Amino acid sequence: MPKLVIDKMKAASNVTLNIGKRIAYFRKKRGLTQQELADKIGIDRTVIANYELSRARIYDEIIARLAVALKISADVILGIKDSTTPKNDNPTLKVMKRMRKIEELPASKQKIILRNIDLTIAGFKKD
């Protein structure tokens, strides 16, 4: 029976090691820099870097803040619920930032950019 307990401990330590990688993955997926994520949850950028590199232990309050900021569940951050991609159909922040820049352009320039996007997407669908 003690062997079963040891096996559970190994599994739990593997989850801990991957938390930083999951944070980095979802931060990048949302188009956020470490500084932007740190600002959203009210901590220093170096702390985010340490979390992502598994140099610092993450406390429950920070996990909750990260979940809200990254728009994912705490279970995903902890590795309890397996999710390699966000289940949110909303565009990423990276896409939204680009769209805002396009919207600032004159209508004629917007039309050219959107036509190019449409042609590119159509080209990918043929492959």
pLDDT tens per residue, range 42-88: 999 999 999 999 999 999 999 999 999 999 999 999 888 766 544 55
Domains in the chain, number: 2
Domain that holds residue 125: 91-127
Q: What percent of the chain is predicted at pLDDT more than 70?
A: 78
66 with 32, same domain: the answer is yes
Q: Does the pLDDT at position 90 exceed 70?
A: no
Q: Does the pLDDT at position 10 exceed 60?
A: no
pTM for the model:
0.57
- Please, what is the average pLDDT of the chain? 82
Average pLDDT over residues 11-38: 81
Q: Does the pLDDT at position 36 exceed 90?
A: yes
Instruction: Give every CB contact of residue 51 below 8 A, 6+ residues apart in sequence.
Output: 19, 20, 23, 58, 62
32 with 11, same domain: the answer is yes
61 with 115, same domain: the answer is no
78 with 99, same domain: the answer is no
User: How many CB atoms within 10 Å of residue 26?
Assistant: 23
Longest dimension (CA), the chain: 72
